[in-house]
Amino acid sequence: MRRHVVAVLMAAMVLGHAQPLAAQSSQFGVRGLGLPIRPLSPRAIATGGAFGMFDLESSQSPASISGILQFTSLFSSAQNFRTSTNPYGSASAKDNRFPQILVAGPIGGTRFAAAISMSAYTDRNFSLGTTDTIQLRGAAVGVFDTLSSRGGLSDLRVAGAWQISKSVQFGIGFHAITGSNRLENHRHFSDSTYAVAVEQSQLSYLGLGVSTGLSVRVAPRLTVAGTFRSDGHLAIDRDSTRIARTDLPTSYGVAVRWQPSLKVAWAASYQAKQWSASNQDILAQGGVGADNAYEVATGFEILRNSKVPGQKPLRFGGRYATLPFPVRAGHQPHEVGLAVGTGFRFVRGQGGFDLALERLWRADGAGYTERATVLTLGFSLRP
């Protein structure tokens, strides 16, 4: 019963049956499973995501770790600043998340490498406020409701890769998708004789998936890569009781990287996720469904010193993506992003610092828009 109450409250607040006052995080992360997050390092983010399948510090393709030469660890943090606008007003907010943590290294004396990573899968941190008037004991009473959610989904991956030859690499990854949402609804009454009503619940999630990746150098300066992933289904518990199951998408991607010189590299990628697999389950849980989504990206990396590639390179790129969870039925939101970044190496290359600055524009064609600036910082260690 509580699940349906929460779903109805969310629908009322977002669709405007009452008068929304503010959304304290992305309004495009309220529906479905939240706002999808890409499992990328700051280096890949700075190129619009185009280098993600070739980047050993990202988790898009398990084949990318095959060429690793030494133990590597990465910790990244992203600070988001956004302004959201909808038919009922505007609000600005900021939040912080940790999109990518990775440890990887070669398996000594072999052509194999292994990695463990923790990536953000979706973000469902938000706060919504509404005002309304209801009838109590024959009198009109004003109410102010706030619904907050804290949490989201994370992706724990264990991956291995095999360097079949100097030109061909293959990888496989096993994924555990976990997380929780702490939901809390407060209702305040304009008549102080009524006590504040509070409703709380916690949703927890668990799913399993598998991914594969292949990278082939088809010419001395040209490499292509592909990946396929299946995430099975997500079990949903409320306060330790199983209440629902949601099918998760299968996804695939292709990318190409061209390196015309030792100092210049260009990449482009296309990725698709079949989120429509979740549509019926989300509708049954009181949501507005899910749509298939895709992303195209392109970017460049220009090195200052080809012998020390991580020292002050120039990275830039852009992307266009559709988002899977509509705010309103029939209006699929989309996202446009432009990014730039660089990096630094210290302690004779054993330590590294990378940053990416991304500007995002989101809209759904139904009066819901968002502008966001995301600063992603990454610290890596190669002892």
pLDDT 10s digits, 116-130: 999 999 998 877 778
Higher per-residue confidence, 292 vs 329: 292
So what's the pLDDT on residue 274?
Answer: 97
User: Which of 20, 128, 124 lies closest to 367, judged by CA?
Assistant: 20
Q: End-to-end distance of the chain based on CA atoms, in angstroms? A: 54
Tokens of 352: 């590294």
Contact yes or no for 65/106 (Cβ under 8 A)? no
Rounded to whole angstroms, how far apart are CA atoms 29 and 181?
12
pLDDT 10s digits, 231-250: 999 999 988 889 999 999 99
So what's the pLDDT on residue 38?
Answer: 95
| SS3 assignment, position 351 | strand
So what's the pLDDT on residue 93?
Answer: 84
Which residue type occupies 336? V
Tokens of 341: 């970044």
Does the pTM surpass 0.85? The reply is yes
User: Which of 37, 29, 23 lies closest to 376, judged by CA?
Assistant: 37
So what's the pLDDT on residue 13?
Answer: 36
| Count of CB atoms situated within 10 Å of the CB of 334 | 15
So what's the pLDDT on residue 316?
Answer: 98
Rounded to whole angstroms, how far apart are CA atoms 200 and 198?
7
So what's the pLDDT on residue 176?
Answer: 97
CATH of span 2-126+140-381: 2.40.160.60
Q: 77 vs 97, 119, 128, 256, CA distance in Å?
A: 6, 11, 25, 27
The conformation of residue 275, written as its DSSP 8-state character, comes to G
Q: What DSSP letter does each residue of 316-329 carry, written as one string?
A: EEEEEEE-SS-SST
Rounded to whole angstroms, how far apart are CA atoms 47 and 301?
7
Dihedral sign (CA 27, 31, 34, 36): negative
